[in-house]
Structure 1
Amino acid sequence: MTHHFSCRVFYEDTDMAGIVYYANYLKFIERARSDWVKGLGIDQRRLKDDEGLVFAVRRVEADYLAPARLDDELTIATTVEQITPARLVMRQIVRCAGTLLFEAVVTIVMINDAGQPARLPARIRGLLN
């Protein structure tokens, strides 16, 4: 299953050279993951309020391949690579007009209210398979 999310590059996303500031790619892929989770029917606010659980990024491995620029329309593709009881590993690819700009492998874990690791609930793992 691949989720696709689109966003436009705004002036605030760019640096003095007129290209997307490197850290903003992390924001773009976060928005794509949040949209994907919501589309699966997972209410992150309710998950926190009712179960005291939140998703947290554990690791990001990123490759910056080509620049995005002001007004570019970006497409972010998100696919699940691995699901275990403790973690979710996703690949996220950012493209503009078919050109690969950025690629990341992101490891997501669940933590409880105390900030301690927690298992991914079985119902959430079921939605991701």
Structure 2
Amino acid sequence: MSHRFSCRVYYEDTDLAGIVYYANYLKFIERARSEWVREIGVDQGALKGEQGIVFAVRRVEADYVAPARFDDLLEITTTLDDITAARIMLTQDVRREDTLLFHSTVTLVCLGEDGRPARIPADIRRLMTG
């Protein structure tokens, strides 16, 4: 299952050279993950309020391949690689047209109110696996 999210590079996303500041790629992929979860029907606010669970980033591996620049239109692709009882593994790529700019693998964990690992509810696992 893959999800696509588009965003424009604004001046505030860039450094003095007009190139996207490296940490902003993490913001771009976070927005894409949030939209993916929203589009499959998961309300993260309700999930926290009703079941006391949240998703948190456990690990990110990032490869900066080529620079994005001011005013570029980017497409972020989020692909579910694997899902276990408490973890979600994703690949997230940022492209400008056909050019790969940024590649990442992201591990999310499901946490309970106490901050300890929690099981991902079965209905959410079904939504994520399509």
Pairwise TM-score range, normalised by the shorter structure: over 0.9
Indicate the residue corresponding to 2:95 in structure 1.
95
Answer yes or no: is 1:11 the counterpart of 2:11: yes
Identity %: 64
- State the match for 2:22 in structure 1: 22
Aligned to 2:82: 82
Which consecutive segments of 4 or more residues in structure 1 shift more than 2 A? none
Q: Normalization by structure 1: what TM-score? A: 0.98
Find the counterpart in structure 2 of residue 60 from structure 1: 60
CA distance in 2, matches of 1:114, 1:86: 15
CA deviation map 1:53-81 (0-9, x unaligned): 00100000010000000000000001000
- After TM superposition, give the deviation of residue 23 of structure 1 in Å: 0.3
Return the offset for 1:128. Answer: 1.5
The answer for the alignment partner of 1:2 in structure 2 is 2
Give the AA of the match of 2:122.
A
3-state secondary structure, aligned to 1:110: strand
| TM norm structure 2 | 0.97
Counterpart secondary structure, 1:118: coil
Unaligned runs of 5+ in 1: none
Q: How many residue pairs align between the two structures?
A: 129
Partner of 1:42: 42
Q: For the residues of structure 1 that align with 2:128 and 2:85, how far apart are their CA atoms?
A: 12
Q: State the alpha-carbon separation in 2 of the partners of residues 9 and 118 from structure 1.
A: 36
In the alignment, the residues of structure 2 paired with residue 13 and residue 60 of structure 1 have an alpha-carbon distance, to the nearest angstrom, of 20
Counterpart amino acid of 1:77? T
Distance 1:82 1:61 in 2: 16
Give the CA deviation at 1:112.
1.2
1:117 is displaced (CA, Å) by 1.1
Q: What letter corresponds to residue 4 of structure 1 in structure 2?
A: R
In 2: Cα distance, 1:116 partner to 1:94 partner: 31
Q: Distance in 2 between matches of 1:38 and 1:80?
A: 15
